[in-house]
């Protein structure tokens, strides 16, 4: 097993999600993103990661799944989940002193087994209409 996967299989769902978010954050940083927030909350709403890439703010949903799971991480980000992410992003953006010039919504899916993991990053996975 690789170091990044050594705790993946025996973890409960919450810890597995945090593990996946950590892998996603490392991946995003390796391709030039600056991760600004993790698990940012507004009341009962939450976004997994908030990052910047140049002047763009990016709100990222991370889905971590065992290889062979019935549903893929991407499938689980349905319209209802997208609406919740969009809503929490609006609350975050209101907290900024300067409005952003550009925002987008990405999804990072992590699929793993006892030996390895695979990261699939979908930039601009869904849109928010005004």
Cβ–Cβ < 8 Å for 34, 51: yes
Per-residue confidence (pLDDT) for residue 61, from 0 to 100: 95
Task: Indicate if the pLDDT at residue 124 is higher than 60.
Answer: yes
Q: What pLDDT, in 10s, does the model give residues 9-56?
A: 455 667 878 889 999 999 999 999 999 999 999 999 999 999 999 989
Q: What is the dihedral of CA 62, 68, 69, 70, to 10 degrees?
A: 130
Q: How far are the Cα atoms of 31, 34, 60, 67, 76 from residue 4, in angstroms, in the given order?
A: 18, 21, 20, 15, 24
Per-residue confidence (pLDDT) for residue 10, from 0 to 100: 54
Q: What percent of the chain has pLDDT over 70?
A: 82
Domains by residue range for the chain, with CATH: 3-124 (3.40.1350.10)
Per-residue confidence (pLDDT) for residue 86, from 0 to 100: 95
- Residue 68: pLDDT band by 50, 70, 90 thresholds? low
């Amino acid at each position: 097993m690789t170091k990044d996967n050594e705790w993946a299989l025996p973890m409960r769902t919450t810890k597995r999600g945090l593990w996946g978010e950590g892998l996603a954050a490392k991946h995003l940083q390796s391709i030039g993103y600056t991760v600004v927030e993790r698990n940012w909350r507004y009341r009962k709403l939450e976004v997994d990661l908030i990052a910047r890439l140049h002047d763009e703010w990016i709100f990222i949903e991370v889905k971590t799944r065992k290889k062979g799971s019935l549903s893929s991480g991407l499938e689980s980000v349905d319209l209802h989940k997208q609406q919740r992410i969009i809503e929490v992003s609006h609350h975050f953006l209101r907290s900024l002193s300067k409005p952003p010039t550009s925002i987008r919504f990405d999804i990072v899916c992590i699929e793993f087994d006892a030996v390895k993991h695979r990261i699939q990053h979908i930039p601009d996975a869904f849109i928010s209409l005004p």
